[in-house]
């Protein structure tokens, strides 16, 4: 099968969604979403689902499409059930490309050029072509997306955070999420995306610490054919695949300094330049970044660019650790027990009163991620309908919550956790990194930062 470029792939995807949304009548309260694809870059526009819209260029249309192949008043969309398109005597014409299945269920594409001022119905698998620009149409309902799976909000701290998320999600601001490892930064990022106008676009999660350093540029920004040995085809980068949606830059503090300048240009200019390309490509992406580092301190140390830090931190949200939102522990535990039961093919196990008491007293240095691992392991060990304290297998190196040194500096606390993890894993850095919920590269960086000697058998 021939390779599809970004515009063709997006076109096929929206045709599928349009087909799913076209099985019933259009509600009076619905909205219509128009996706315009200009030179491979997708933009999303929303309007009431009834009435008419003029599509054109130069500010004289309801939807302004800035492309030389589009006339000032190119076409009119009559919205309703069905959608009807009318060419307004454009210079480069209006075409409809419709995908149909023949008797053998083979997809066939029908290319239809519209006569001026003639009205034609737009089918659910039809794309509209105005000169060189593609327009896709689909209907939306007014239902608010639910919280992503795993988001449990019971504590006052998290309720306040979600209220703030609701207010900033609708804005185009970049968001920086700050919090300890395992606190739930990824879940908050998904919530921001789900509550934003980009909810129906892609959410592309990029773990900056997991990208091989020698491939970071090609993975993030893509490459052209022949850019390097083995680049036999052009490949869009991860940031390009997030176009019309959200890019979640997890562990942004681990992005090497050499690549931070290129990331800054993407945020400031709204465009990426593939490796080996002669000119940049525009992208329409909202950025959410996350880190467990103190980036302000990294800026002062010279390990993180000041301009990139301010560009990412259009709004900064701090996710409190689990020990500071104790009200979330038991609801989260029951939520994870339900998921563990489904994975094991049996009813969700109950947590005994004694097990609940143990969980309430634990400090959870690994935060929500640690709690999830504890509950999933306990469900497997219990083998029955009740989880008892002996099934929890909590890390004895973690002190109970009431005895945790609340005033201990975060850096000292993290250093001790690393030392404890290495001791528990007999010096195996890979296993210690997994226990801490970070990448091995991040662990090695922390060892140097905190002056912790690397185990002799792993030194190179």
CATH number at 329 reads 1.10.8.60
Structural contact between residues 313 and 176, judged by C-beta atoms closer than 8 angstroms: yes
**What is the pairing mode between strands 94-101 and 222-223?**
unpaired
Same domain for 368 and 430?
no
CATH of residue 11 = 2.60.200.20
Q: What's the pLDDT tens digit per position in 91-143? A: 999 999 876 655 544 446 688 999 999 899 987 668 899 998 888 886 654 44
* Cα torsion angle, 110, 116, 119, 122, sign: positive
Tell me: pLDDT of 85 over 90.
yes
Average pLDDT of the residues in 35-54: 75
Average pLDDT of the residues in 249-261: 92
Q: What is the mean pLDDT of the chain?
A: 80
Give the model's pLDDT for residue 22. Answer: 39
Higher pLDDT, 415 or 349: 349
Residues 6+ apart with CB under 8 A from 57: 64, 65, 66, 67, 70, 71, 72, 74
pLDDT band at 404 (very low <50, low <70, confident <90, very high): very low
Give the model's pLDDT for residue 413. Answer: 72
Tell me: pLDDT of 195 over 70.
yes
Tell me if the bond preceding 82 is cis, omega within 30° of 0: yes
Residue 263 maps to a domain = yes
Local structure of 368: helix, strand or coil = helix
Residue 148 maps to a domain = no
Neighbours of 221 (CB within 10 A): 25
Q: What's the pLDDT tens digit per position in 262-301? A: 999 999 989 998 888 888 889 999 999 999 988 988 998 8
Same domain for 288 and 348?
no
Tell me: pLDDT of 8 over 50.
no
Same domain for 267 and 308?
yes
Give the model's pLDDT for residue 154. Answer: 84
CATH of residue 280 = 3.40.50.300
User: For the purposes of burial, counting CB atoms within 10 Å of the CB of 360, is it exposed (0-12), middle (13-18) or buried (19 or more)?
Assistant: middle
Q: How many domains does the chain fold into?
A: 4
What is the spatial distance between Cα 29 and Cα 139, in angstroms, rounded to a whole number?
Answer: 10
Give the model's pLDDT for residue 159. Answer: 84
Average pLDDT of the residues in 78-103: 84
The fraction of the chain above a pLDDT of 90, given in percent, is 37
Neighbours of 271 (CB within 10 A): 15
Identify the domain containing residue 198 by its residue range.
Answer: 156-318
Closest CA to 381 of 349, 357, 359, 424: 349
Q: What would the DSSP string read from start to end of 370-437?
A: HHHHHHHHHHHHH-SSEE-HHHH---TTSPBGGGS-TTS-HHHHHHHHHHHHHHHTTT-HHHHHHHHT
Terminal Cα-to-Cα distance of the chain (whole angstroms): 46
Same domain for 226 and 286?
yes
Higher pLDDT, 218 or 431: 218
Average pLDDT of the residues in 75-81: 89
| Of 88, 115, 140, the domain-final residue | 140
Residue 145 maps to a domain = no
Statement: the pTM of the whole predicted model exceeds 0.85: no
Give the model's pLDDT for residue 322. Answer: 93
Q: What's the pLDDT tens digit per position in 355-401? A: 999 999 999 999 999 999 999 999 999 988 999 999 998 865 454 44
Give the model's pLDDT for residue 72. Answer: 93
């Amino acid at each position: 099968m021939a390779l599809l470029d970004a515009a063709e792939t997006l076109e096929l995807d929206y045709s599928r969604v349009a087909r799913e949304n076209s099985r019933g009548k259009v509600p009076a309260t619905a909205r219509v979403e128009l996706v315009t694809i200009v030179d491979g870059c997708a933009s999303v526009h929303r309007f009431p689902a009834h009435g008419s819209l003029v599509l054109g260029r130069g500010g004289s249309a309801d939807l302004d499409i800035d492309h030389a192949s589009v006339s000032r008043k190119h076409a009119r969309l009559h919205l309703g059930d069905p959608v009807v398109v009318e060419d307004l005597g454009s210079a480069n014409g209006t075409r409809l490309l419709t995908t149909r299945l023949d008797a053998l269920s083979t997809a066939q594409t029908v290319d239809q050029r519209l006569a001026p001022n003639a009205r034609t119905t737009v089918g659910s698998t039809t794309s509209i072509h105005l000169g060189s620009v593609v327009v896709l149409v689909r209907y939306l309902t007014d239902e608010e997306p639910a919280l992503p799976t795993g988001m449990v909000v019971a504590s006052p701290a998290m309720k306040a955070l979600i209220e703030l998320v609701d207010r900033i999600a609708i804005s185009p601001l970049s968001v920086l999420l700050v919090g300890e490892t395992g606190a739930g930064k990824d879940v908050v990022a998904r919530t921001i995306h789900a509550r934003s106008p980009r909810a129906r676009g892609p959410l592309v999660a990029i773990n900056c610490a997991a990208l091989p350093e020698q491939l970071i540029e090609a993975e993030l920004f893509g490459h052209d054919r022949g850019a390097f040995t083995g680049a036999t085809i052009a490949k869009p980068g991860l940031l390009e695949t997030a176009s019309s949606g959200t890019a979640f830059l997890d562990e942004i503090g681990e992005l090497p300094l050499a690549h931070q300048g290129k990331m800054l240009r993407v945020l400031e200019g709204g465009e990426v330049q593939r490796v080996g390309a002669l000119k940049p490509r525009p992208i329409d992406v909202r950025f959410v970044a996350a880190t467990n580092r103190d980036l302000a301190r990294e800026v002062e140390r010279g390990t993180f660019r000041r301009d990139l830090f301010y560009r990412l931190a259009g709004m900064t949200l701090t996710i409190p650790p689990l020990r500071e939102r104790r009200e979330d522990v038991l609801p989260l535990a029951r939520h994870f027990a339900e998921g563990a039961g489904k994975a094991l093919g049996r009813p969700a196990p109950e947590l005994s009163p004694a097990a609940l008491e143990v969980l309430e007293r634990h400090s959870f240095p690994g935060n929500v991620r640690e709690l999830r691992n504890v509950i999933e392991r306990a469900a497997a060990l219990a083998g029955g309908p009740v989880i008892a304290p002996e099934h929890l297998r909590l890390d004895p190196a973690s002190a109970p919550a009431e005895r945790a040194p609340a005033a201990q500096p975060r850096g000292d606390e993290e250093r001790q956790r690393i030392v404890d993890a290495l001791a528990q894993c007999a010096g195996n850095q890979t296993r210690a990194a997994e226990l801490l919920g970070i990448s091995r590269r991040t662990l090695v960086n922390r060892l140097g930062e905190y002056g912790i000697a690397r185990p002799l058998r792993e030194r190179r």
